[in-house]
């Protein structure tokens, strides 16, 4: 079951961006320029007091992330140990041991050198993988939910501003053309009211396209029957008829002499094809 779900998630996430793409990385924060006598390449020849002062000033920045603040704290401890006379490797080893991570010995030295050289807070280029539960939570927060496909209300773009503007212009044009169209009398639809046309105007006829599909197994979904009894309905929609026609209010089916525009198609194999 879990394997199938993972496969479904993998298919759904194909060609999409990773969740981590939507998280902002820590912004680069500038630090105070070191003194002219400071060396940017060698930790051994530095004004430790000036560096510690600059680090303390950065700690007051409320926009610092937890990761940036923690790394600055490690650099602060390292510089403080160097100020106390510890050698570079010994100082880095003590700081790394204090947080239970021996591998940070070399990284801490690299962080400090980059911090002094580039004037920026060191950040990690490694992005931690997002597990499945985290991805689900964030997808839900973004308004996406894992669900079974079913027929529901279809929302299209009818209310987009450009569609509304086009629709309003269309209605204005139709209102102007209605004056040129014959109409049926409301009280008696057998009576046709002809338009009053100016010499330079022509009669207009509104032609509408009508299209329908009927299936053999179409029927009512409700029924009368004993309680807990369900009728045995046929599976599938069955054979179909596709009817296409052009209609006018005055002449019903659009036609020319004895030829009508109504077409009845029978889709399917061994019928009219697809």
pLDDT of residue 227 exceeding 90: no
- Considering the domain architecture, whether residues 238 and 199 belong to the same structural domain is answered as no
- With respect to residue 147, please indicate whether it lies within any of the assigned structural domains: no
Least confident window among 108-122, 131-145, 213-227: 108-122
What confidence tens digit (pLDDT) does each residue in 122-178 have? 665 555 677 888 888 888 888 887 766 555 566 667 778 888 899 999 999 999 898
- Mean pLDDT, the chain, rounded, equals 75
Residues 6+ positions from 183 with CB-CB distance below 8 Å: 192, 193, 195, 249
Least confident window among 152-156, 195-199, 203-207, 227-231: 152-156
Q: How far apart are CA 136 and CA 145, in angstroms?
A: 8
- With respect to residue 62, please indicate whether it lies within any of the assigned structural domains: yes
Of 203, 235, 262, which marks where a domain is finished?
203
- Considering the domain architecture, whether residues 28 and 73 belong to the same structural domain is answered as yes
Of 179, 203, 227, which marks where a domain is finished?
203
What is residue 173's predicted lDDT score, i.e. its pLDDT?
Answer: 92
- With respect to residue 131, please indicate whether it lies within any of the assigned structural domains: no
- Considering the domain architecture, whether residues 250 and 264 belong to the same structural domain is answered as yes
Of 95, 118, 141, which marks where a domain is finished?
118
Please report the DSSP string for 84-132 in residue order. Answer: TT--HHHHHHHHHHHTT-TTHHHHHHHHHHHHHHH-B-----PPPPPPH
Total-model pTM: 0.36
Domain of residue 274, residue span: 205-274
- Considering the domain architecture, whether residues 241 and 191 belong to the same structural domain is answered as no
- Considering the domain architecture, whether residues 29 and 91 belong to the same structural domain is answered as yes
- With respect to residue 127, please indicate whether it lies within any of the assigned structural domains: no
- Considering the domain architecture, whether residues 102 and 188 belong to the same structural domain is answered as no
Q: How far apart are CA 221 and CA 230, in angstroms?
A: 11
What confidence tens digit (pLDDT) does each residue in 238-247 have? 889 999 999 8
- With respect to residue 136, please indicate whether it lies within any of the assigned structural domains: no
pLDDT of residue 253 exceeding 90: no
What is residue 16's predicted lDDT score, i.e. its pLDDT?
Answer: 65
What is residue 270's predicted lDDT score, i.e. its pLDDT?
Answer: 85
- With respect to residue 266, please indicate whether it lies within any of the assigned structural domains: yes
CA–CA distances in Å: residue 266 to residues 194, 209, 210, 244: 39, 19, 17, 11
- Considering the domain architecture, whether residues 83 and 15 belong to the same structural domain is answered as yes
- Considering the domain architecture, whether residues 15 and 114 belong to the same structural domain is answered as yes
> Among 41, 31, 47, which residue's Cα sits nearest to residue 117?
41
What phi, psi does 209 have (nearest 5°)? -95, 130
What confidence tens digit (pLDDT) does each residue in 30-80 have? 333 333 333 334 455 567 777 788 777 777 777 777 877 787 888 888 888
What is residue 155's predicted lDDT score, i.e. its pLDDT?
Answer: 62
Q: How far apart are CA 197 and CA 258, in angstroms?
A: 29
- Considering the domain architecture, whether residues 161 and 91 belong to the same structural domain is answered as no
- Considering the domain architecture, whether residues 19 and 65 belong to the same structural domain is answered as yes
pLDDT of residue 13 exceeding 50: yes
Percentage above 90 pLDDT, the chain:
6
Cα dihedral angle (41, 44, 46, 47), rounded to 10 degrees? 170
Q: What angle do CA 167, 168, 172 make, to 5 degrees?
A: 115
Total domain count for the chain?
A: 3
- Considering the domain architecture, whether residues 88 and 158 belong to the same structural domain is answered as no
- With respect to residue 50, please indicate whether it lies within any of the assigned structural domains: yes
- Considering the domain architecture, whether residues 13 and 69 belong to the same structural domain is answered as yes
């Amino acid at each position: 079951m879990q394997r199938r779900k993972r496969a479904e998630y993998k298919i759904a996430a194909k060609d999409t961006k990773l969740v981590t793409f939507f998280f902002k990385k820590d912004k680069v924060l500038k630090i105070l320029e070191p003194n002219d006598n400071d060396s940017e390449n060698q930790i051994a020849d530095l004004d430790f007091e000036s560096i510690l002062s600059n680090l303390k000033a950065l700690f007051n920045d409320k926009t610092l992330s937890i990761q940036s603040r923690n790394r600055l704290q490690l650099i602060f401890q390292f510089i403080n140990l160097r100020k106390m006379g510890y050698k570079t490797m010994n100082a880095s080893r003590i700081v790394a041991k204090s947080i239970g991570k021996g591998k940070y010995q070399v990284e801490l030295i690299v962080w400090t050198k980059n911090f002094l050289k580039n004037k920026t807070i060191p950040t990690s280029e490694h992005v931690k993988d997002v597990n499945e539960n985290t991805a689900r939570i964030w997808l839900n927060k973004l308004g996406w939910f894992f669900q079974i496909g079913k027929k529901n209300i279809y929302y299209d773009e009818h209310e987009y501003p450009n569609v509304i503007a086009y629709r309003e212009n269309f209605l204005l044009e139709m209102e102007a053309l209605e004056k040129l169209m014959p109409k049926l009398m409301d009280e008696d639809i057998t009576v046709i009211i002809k338009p009053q046309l100016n010499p330079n105007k022509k009669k207009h006829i509104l032609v509408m396209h009508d299209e329908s599909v009927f299936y053999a197994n179409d029927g009512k979904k409700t029924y009368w029957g004993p309680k807990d009894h369900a009728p045995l309905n046929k599976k599938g929609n069955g054979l179909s008829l596709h009817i296409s026609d052009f209609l006018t209010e005055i002449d019903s089916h659009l036609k020319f002499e004895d030829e009508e525009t109504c077409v009845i198609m029978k889709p399917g194999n061994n019928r009219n094809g697809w």
